[in-house]
Chain A
Amino acid sequence: MSVHPTINLDSLQEIVERHGYNKNKLIAILQDIQAVYHYLPAEALKTLSKLLKIPLIDIISVATFYRAFSLTPKGRHVATVCLGTACHVRGAPKILEEFERQLNIRRGETTEDGEWSLETVACLGCCAIGPVVVVDGDYHAHTSIRKVPTILGKYGK
């Protein structure tokens, strides 16, 4: 279980190098860091601040502005419920509530055992097949309250 990974400074350096130590590439750099750790570890951001020579507070301000970034570790599995308009009118809020009940966490939280994170997204652009839920990158189409336990079951819950 790698919820708290050790920060590999070489890989961080490598990411920053790939972007030519360019301050303007901050968002892309943060995306690459998040791709490695699934969140933005404080340690990594502190080092990044030194490498790019930008104040940590500026990095934090970007990292907290954009929804895609997380400052807290994510669970081993991530379930993302789409709350787009088309999914909404087809019952997405009820599906989100069912996930909250099944996992016993609220949206945006991670289970204590570090297995599951529950996220929401404004729209995935798959409106025709809604309500849509994405688990670990797999799209589940036409979900319903009853399908929630089955979906979770596929990933060992």
Chain B
Amino acid sequence: MKRIKKFKNVEELKKAIEQQEAGRQQEKKKRVIVVSSGTCGQARGSLKVIETLKKALREEGLKDQVTIRITGCHGFCEAEPNLIIYPDRIFYQKLTPPDVRTIVKETLVEGRVVEKFLHRDPLTKERAWYENEIPFYQKQKRIVLGDNVFVDPTSLLEYLAIGGFRPFIKALTRMKPEEIIQTVKQSGLRGRGGAGFPTGLKWEATRRAPGDIKYIICNGDEGDPGAYMDRSVLEGNPYRVLEGMMIGALAIGAREGYLYVRDEYPLAVRHVTLALEQLYRAGLLGEKILGTDFSLDLHLAKGAGAFVCGEETALIASIEGRVGEPRQRPPFPAQKGLWRKPTCINNVETWANIPLIILNGADWFSSIGTSGSKGTKIFSLVGKINNTGLVEVPMGITLREIIYDIGGGIPEGKAFKAVQTGGPSGGCLPASMLDQIIDYESLTAAGSIMGSGGMIVMDEKTCMVDVAKYFLNFLRDESCGKCISCREGTQRMWEIVRDITEGLGRPEDLELLEELALATKEASMCGLGQTAANPVLSTLRYFRDEYEAHIYEKRCPAGVCKSLIRYAVIPEKCTGCEACKRACPTGAIQGTRKDTHLILYDKCIKCGACLEACRFEAIEAQREEAITIVREVKP
């Protein structure tokens, strides 16, 4: 890594940016291979791919003609590990080290495209030669995520090469704080963390709050299970978030700030730490930045695994070294936040949008999106979907476009059942809502929320009662316990739904659930409790028939709830291959080779190993016939 020297004034920084940009122009004449290596990429072996690539280039004598750029996640997680060869943008996916050798030989030396490593569309089965031809990318508008492809997140100079810190220079030299706030207000940017409060208003309130000492905070405690865009932005382009915070500090009048990042994201923590070090060394953080009167200190605070700390007052308590319990608002953090001083707290994605708004102007930003929701939103499209990954789309796109056009539909030809948005505070939307446009208001009207952007797709094999049970279990575990309504409400709702999944549900349970849901919502202090009922209410609203099947018929239509199913062999489909027999941990499967197998119910523990092992779909979850409906008192 090149050693960063301190920029003494704005001119020096400008010059460095120009130099780096010119370097990029030069680079375009050469071949550049971009390898994505975020957490998912590394989990799939990107580090070995990179090692082999370096070795192969050396062996072929191409070391000096080809540049390797190791970047964070590009969002197309399904295709990891992947690489893009510039200038042609040939996209090769799901690579192993031997594949890389083939690519170096055939594409780089002999100039041929290796078809088998190209992306194949799950619907049309067509191969895409180039990155921009891949349907997954075509309907996206990647203003925040797009740059992840062009920067090595461990290098400040790489960020300068894509024009990084030009927005900061503009804000520092040509804009008054009020103008910056005005621009953010006009852009229509709303908080990307969940609630969607207008960012400019928050900034203005913090600026106007009395007192000399003010703080800014970046909320990187991305706790919603199923959402990981903040991790990807922090890992892949940490400087953009930091630049956003620097501009925010200028506007608000803050001299100190914190990035609160989840401890479960080791790579994000590492990249943010490195970025902070380099910014201090470059004189872009600390005292008298670029020789001006502006000073700013930013610190990293690591979370310690408490979901409730995503709530702003709990997060502030956690930075102060205390138990992360939320407190009553008002006063809002803009009046009394960290150490009881005015504090502006924004989400990672919100901060990352700021440099773009300052550079391109409020009108550019507000031209994207719907009347009430401007700009783009990053969603993590996961679960039962072909193209899993992070998708950044303009507000106002429909769920159908995301799930089918970008996501490539549901795997294995199964039917779509629901999409869960907004994490544990959100809800499940059925197929009838697929043409719903996505913005803050319409998702709320549909009984879910925008939230931080988790989008978990569920197919016919997902039980919606089980999903409600899952979220309730999560929430009763994560409730901090301060409000009785939340502590006991989530616990009791979980018990009722658990009983329903175990065949112990009573007809009156549904009404009781609705009553409890309302009480939890009305009487809890923070967002966790106020929205804790959403997973129950939305599944009751759209999938009541599934609850009723569990209660009245003691049947789980999706074949998920263990107490209500038993596994059986379908004789017509069984080939007698013995795969299930080998997989069974309890010896519950009988049958000789080439003969239809049989499952002994008294030995079966319903672990599902046979279902997973069978390649002929000859094992199915059937309705458990002999259920004794006895309500017993559980501990």
Chain A residues within 8 Å of B, Cβ to Cβ: 22-28, 30-31, 61-62, 65-69, 83-86, 88-91, 94, 97-98, 101, 121-130, 132, 137, 139-141, 144-146
Contacts and interface: CB of A to CB of B under 8 A. Distances in A.
B534 interface: no
B77 interface: yes
B307 A129 contact: no
A123 to B, nearest CB: 4
Contacts of B388: 86, 127-129
A125 B612 contact: no
B454 interface: yes
A145 B44 contact: no
Interface stretch (B3-11, B277-285, B318-326, B587-595): B318-326
A25 B583 CA distance: 50
A123 B226 contact: yes
A49 to B, nearest CB: 14
Interface in B428-474: 454, 456, 458, 462, 467, 470-471, 474
A98 B306 contact: no
Given A62-B322, A68-B305, 17 more contacts: A26-B321, A65-B323, A85-B456, A85-B470, A85-B471, A86-B456, A94-B607, A98-B585, A123-B225, A125-B262, A126-B40, A126-B43, A127-B77, A127-B382, A128-B380, A141-B40, A146-B613
Given A97-B607, A121-B264, A146-B612, A31 B43 contact: no
A27 B304 contact: yes
Interface size classification for chain B: 35 or more
20 contacts: A23-B321, A25-B321, A27-B302, A28-B321, A61-B323, A67-B305, A84-B225, A86-B226, A90-B384, A121-B264, A122-B478, A123-B225, A123-B227, A125-B39, A126-B77, A128-B382, A129-B40, A130-B382, A145-B607, A145-B609
A137 to B, nearest CB: 8
Contact of B307 (A27, A122, A124, A144): A122
A128 B613 contact: no
Nearest to B318: A27
Contacts of B383: 85-86, 89-90, 127
B77 A66 contact: no
Q: Which 10 A-B pairs have the closest CB atoms?
A: A128-B77, A125-B228, A139-B43, A67-B305, A66-B304, A123-B225, A84-B225, A85-B226, A86-B382, A128-B388
B520 interface: no
B80 interface: yes
Contacts of B581: none
Among A23, A62, A125, A130, the one with the most B-chain Cβ atoms within 10 Å of its Cβ is: A125
A98 B306 CA distance: 26
B44 A141 contact: yes
B430 to A, nearest CB: 16
A30 B305 CA distance: 13
Interface in B378-428: 380, 382-384, 388-389, 420, 423
A128 B44 CA distance: 11
A83 B225 contact: yes
A121 B609 CA distance: 23
A141 B42 CA distance: 10
Contact of B609 (A23, A28, A31, A98): A98
B39 A85 contact: no
Contact of B306 (A67, A94, A121, A132): A67
Contacts of A68: 263, 303-305
B608 A139 contact: no
Contacts of A125: 39, 222, 227-228, 231, 262, 264-265
Contacts of A132: 43
Among B40, B262, B318, B607, the one with the most A-chain Cβ atoms within 10 Å of its Cβ is: B40
Interface of B: 39-40, 42-44, 77-78, 80, 222-228, 231, 262-266, 301-307, 318, 320-324, 380, 382-384, 388-389, 420, 423, 454, 456, 458, 462, 467, 470-471, 474, 478, 480, 583, 585, 607-609, 612-613
Given A28-B302, A66-B304, A141-B43, A122 B474 contact: yes
B226 A84 contact: yes
Nearest to B266: A137
Contacts of B585: 98, 101
A138 B301 CA distance: 24
A67 B228 contact: no
A85 B225 contact: yes
A65 B309 CA distance: 11
Nearest to B39: A126
B564 to A, nearest CB: 15
A93 to B, nearest CB: 9
A98 B608 CA distance: 10
Given A85-B383, A129-B43, A69 B462 contact: no
Contact of B456 (A22, A28, A31, A89): A89
Contacts of B609: 98, 145-146
Contacts of A101: 585, 607
Contacts of A84: 225-226
A68 B474 CA distance: 16
Contacts of B389: 128
Contacts of B264: 121, 123-125
Among A25, A69, A86, A97, the one with the most B-chain Cβ atoms within 10 Å of its Cβ is: A86
A31 B226 contact: no
Contacts of B39: 124-126, 139
Nearest to B224: A123
A22 B321 CA distance: 10
Nearest to A54: B321
B356 to A, nearest CB: 23
Nearest to B78: A128
B304 A129 contact: no
A101 B303 CA distance: 32
Contacts of B474: 122
B228 A127 contact: yes
A47 to B, nearest CB: 18
Nearest to A97: B607
A88 B478 CA distance: 17
Contacts of A130: 382
